[in-house]
Amino acid sequence: MIQCLLVDDDPAIRSLLAEYLEQFGFEMHAVGDARNARQELARRAYDVLLLDLMLPDEDGLGVCQWVRRERPQMPIIMLTAQGDPASRVLGLELGADDYLPKPFEPRELVARIKAVLRRGRGIASAHAEHVRFDGWTFNRVHRELVAADGLVVALSAAEYRLLCAFLEHPGRLLSRERLIDLSRAPGVVVNERSVDLAVSRLRSKLGGADRDKSPIRTVRGEGYVFGAAVQL
């Protein structure tokens, strides 16, 4: 049975969602603040986290960052009344896998939970867990990028999705539109400028002080190419 932790400060929402999701076979656990959420996550291995943005003791974004650091493989869906594009992008950049603005249809939440669980299983099964290129080791499941000297380089959610896209298409020219299709999180509007900025950040991390050493190459007016050989 899928273990699901719901974190929301509204007791009515906790009760209604827990009761509804249990009808679809989820084993539900619900808490109302960040402190109890951290305690639950420390003592039990949950399969998915449903996290409200506005909590009484701590911003949900801080909890999201902590979970992504401590449990990098755990799917996170943020639930919030702040449905503006800036809030959605920030939540996804900080590590959420999906973002559902309130109010929403409970059946849509069920569909999104199943989708993030499928994506997680797909990464683990359809691709090798460890991928090596240019002295780097990338763990897809745990979202870890490790340099040749053992240094772990942190990736935002957007950078992680971009790197996965590049590694799945080495040596191929990817237009900005194609990169958006390959790396866009559900429900998020991404433009070409956002892609360029995310690629620039990823390139800096892969190239260090010398950006020219990055395997990501720009093809002016066309897009990007990942030029390194990829070893599974």
In this structure, how many other beta carbons lie within 10 angstroms of the beta carbon of residue 63?
Answer: 26
76 part of a folded domain: yes
Final residue of a domain: which of 106, 125, 144? 125
Identify the CATH number of the domain in which residue 81 sits: 3.40.50.2300
60 and 135 both lie in a single domain = no
Residue ranges for the chain with pLDDT beneath 50: 122-126
231 part of a folded domain: no
179 and 203 both lie in a single domain = yes
54 part of a folded domain: yes
72 and 142 both lie in a single domain = no
pLDDT at position 196 is 92
Name which of 84, 86, 7, 80 is nearest 48 in CA terms. Answer: 7
53 and 40 both lie in a single domain = yes
Between CA 100 and CA 79 the distance in angstroms is 5
111 and 152 both lie in a single domain = no
187 and 205 both lie in a single domain = yes
40 and 133 both lie in a single domain = no
In this structure, how many other beta carbons lie within 10 angstroms of the beta carbon of residue 103?
Answer: 9
Contacts of 39 (CB under 8 A, 6+ apart): none
108 and 163 both lie in a single domain = no
pLDDT at position 125 is 41
pLDDT at position 187 is 61
Final residue of a domain: which of 125, 150, 170? 125
pLDDT at position 128 is 56
In this structure, how many other beta carbons lie within 10 angstroms of the beta carbon of residue 80?
Answer: 20
114 and 134 both lie in a single domain = no
232 part of a folded domain: no
Q: In what order do the strands lie in the sheet with 216-219?
A: 173-174, 223-226, 216-219
93 and 120 both lie in a single domain = yes
Between CA 211 and CA 127 the distance in angstroms is 28
Is the distance from CB of 105 to CB of 111 less than 8 angstroms?
no
Q: How many domains does the chain have?
A: 2
Identify the CATH number of the domain in which residue 159 sits: 1.10.10.10
Final residue of a domain: which of 125, 141, 170? 125
138 part of a folded domain: yes
Is the distance from CB of 11 to CB of 52 less than 8 angstroms?
no
Contacts of 203 (CB under 8 A, 6+ apart): 211, 214, 216
73 and 145 both lie in a single domain = no
99 and 165 both lie in a single domain = no
Domain that holds residue 54: 2-125
